[in-house]
């Protein structure tokens, strides 16, 4: 099975108030594409030749795991954005967030803190944990919650390639701006399908 770079439903310059066109060209056009190409080069002749990305994340190791997870993570990340996003969750997702974190603002603060304090390269996540409750987690490098039987709802890429062209060393500024393009409708849909 040949993996492909997913098409995005917004233009490369649509998020420019937060993620510049140049960052999109490199992050989506070069980095995400490279993970797809690497994976396609690694899997022929292995038992993962026809495996889904989820199977690869659960069962592979080494380069196949790292590149497969990075394909999945980047698709999940880029699909979360919109030029006209829904700025707050409602309904059952909002209720679950309030139960787990106290309030929506408290959730944003805790998630932002996880993204800012993650040492080195990786991803901050909102997941449904194995006990059914919402949790904020950090994963280094290509880490993905599916490997721990958690269900991902939202992620923020804090590899330097995600923000360095636009924010240089100011990761907190990137994380703060991230909320402005995050489409909570996407997260609500994921929450609905994960339960």
Pairwise CA distance, residues 35 & 118, whole Å: 22
For Mn ion, the closer CB: 157 or 183: 157
- The CB-of-161 to Mn ion minimum distance in angstroms stands at 5
Alpha-carbon span 76 to 157, nearest angstrom:
10
Is the Cβ of residue 71 or residue 96 nearer to Mn ion in the bound state? 71
Matching residue, tokens 């399908």: 193
Least distance between Mn ion and beta carbon 106 (Å): 27
Residue 6 vs residues 33, 36, 97: alpha-carbon distances, Å: 9, 10, 29
Q: What angle do CA 188, 189, 195 make, to 5 degrees?
A: 90
Could you tell me the smallest distance in angstroms from the CB atom of residue 35 to Mn ion? 9
> How far is Cα 74 from Cα 85, in angstroms, rounded to an integer?
19
Which single residue brings its beta carbon nearest to Mn ion? 157
Please give the residues from 150 up to 189 whose contact with Mn ion meets the rule CB under 5 A: 157, 159, 162
Q: Closest distance between Mn ion and the C-beta of residue 31, in Å?
A: 5
End-to-end CA distance of the chain: 29
What six digits make up the tokens of 44? 């022929």
Q: Tell me how many residues contact Mn ion (CB under 5 A).
A: 3
Q: Which of residues 122-151 bind Mn ion (CB under 5 A)?
A: none
Nearer to Mn ion (CB atom), residue 129 or residue 166: 166
Using CB under 5 A, list all residues that contact Mn ion.
157, 159, 162
């Amino acid at each position: 099975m040949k993996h492909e770079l997913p098409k995005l439903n917004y233009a490369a310059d649509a998020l420019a108030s937060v993620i510049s066109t140049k960052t999109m060209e490199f992050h989506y056009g070069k980095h995400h594409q490279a993970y797809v190409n690497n994976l396609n080069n690694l899997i022929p002749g292995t038992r993962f030749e026809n495996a889904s990305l989820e199977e690869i994340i659960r069962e592979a190791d080494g380069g196949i795991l790292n590149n497969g997870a990075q394909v999945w993570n980047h698709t999940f990340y880029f699909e979360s954005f919109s030029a006209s996003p829904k700025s707050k969750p409602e309904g059952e997702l909002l209720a679950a967030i309030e139960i787990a974190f106290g309030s929506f603002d408290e959730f944003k603060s805790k998630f932002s803190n996880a993204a800012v304090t993650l040492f080195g390269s990786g991803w901050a996540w909102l997941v449904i944990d194995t006990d059914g409750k919402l949790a904020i987690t950090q994963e280094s490098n290509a880490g993905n919650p599916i490997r721990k039987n958690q269900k991902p709802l939202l992620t923020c890429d804090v590899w330097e390639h995600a923000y360095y062209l636009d924010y240089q060393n100011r990761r907190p500024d990137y994380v703060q701006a991230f909320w402005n393009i995050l489409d909570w409708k996407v997260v609500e849909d994921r929450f609905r399908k994960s339960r």
